[in-house]
Amino acid sequence: MVTKKQHYYPRSLIKHFANEDDKLYTYIRISNRIQYINYENICAENYTYEGSSGIDNILENSLSVLEAKIAPIVNKILTNIVIKDDRITVDLREDEIDFLFKYINIQYIRTNTGRISFVRSFGNINYVRRRYPYKIEEIKESKNNEILHFNDRFKQIGVLENFIKFLKKPKNMNFHILVGENYITSDNPVIMLNEGKQIFMPISNNICVTFQIADYSNTDKILLPYNAGLNRYLNECQIETSNYYIMSIENFDLVTNWYIYRRFHVIDWEKISKHFK
């Protein structure tokens, strides 16, 4: 059976931001409105991972294998926080942490924005990382260029598998779990800061996983305490990097609503936002 509706943010991960009725509050940029909708109906496009040779689901199926492997690791984090020797931690194996690092990097490049950035930067020593998010018009123009090129390349035998092997967590990079309050997520859920030296991805409304090199992380503790400023900053990052959807288990408060409005309606917002200075 051919899969037509292909998710670039796996349902097995988005569901952790949904309520018991499988719905979550979603700002839909295209229609400029907030809806309370089923998590399965967002962050997907028809045949988004197909290449120039036609519909074959090769890349879609390969990504599904990775999704099946990351889902139980995320579930384990969310359900198995334990206390050992008076320290709160999560009983994760090193190979699970290593794969979490690999998958988060894959998640970063599998979205429309990620595929465009990857193709433009890979092997280009003169590439300068873009400071501002891609506009929807730019993404549409890239459908038959960078995005198609990415699909054609990664559907080839062994390319995705070899890239996964290439992705290795640096020895000086520490893994942490951030406790938070009402983390939100978006169609670009991975936040890369300081040229990838800090990587964040919320996996539920109150848990965010992060990898940080030693310059930014001076503790060997896995579970880090609540930090209101960082919590707010990461939510703003989700809004800033979003192209299509912003999702929350709770309805957006006035502050978040106002930030979303300014992000998508203020002319030259990139020149005003502190995130791009």
CB 116 within 8 A of CB 139: yes
pLDDT at 74: 97
Query: Please, is 172 exposed, middle or buried when counting C-beta atoms within 10 Å of its C-beta (0-12, 13-18, 19+)?
Result: exposed
Residues in the chain, overall count = 277
Using a CB cutoff of 8 Å and minimum separation of 24, what contacts does 61-65 make?
61/3, 62/154, 62/155, 62/160, 62/161, 63/106, 63/110, 63/160
Rounded to an integer, what distance in angstroms lies between the CA atom of residue 188 and that of residue 206?
Answer: 18
Averaged in consecutive runs of 10 residues, what is the pLDDT profile of the chain (277 residues)?
A: 95 98 97 97 97 95 98 93 61 93 98 95 74 87 94 96 95 92 97 93 96 87 87 96 97 96 90 75
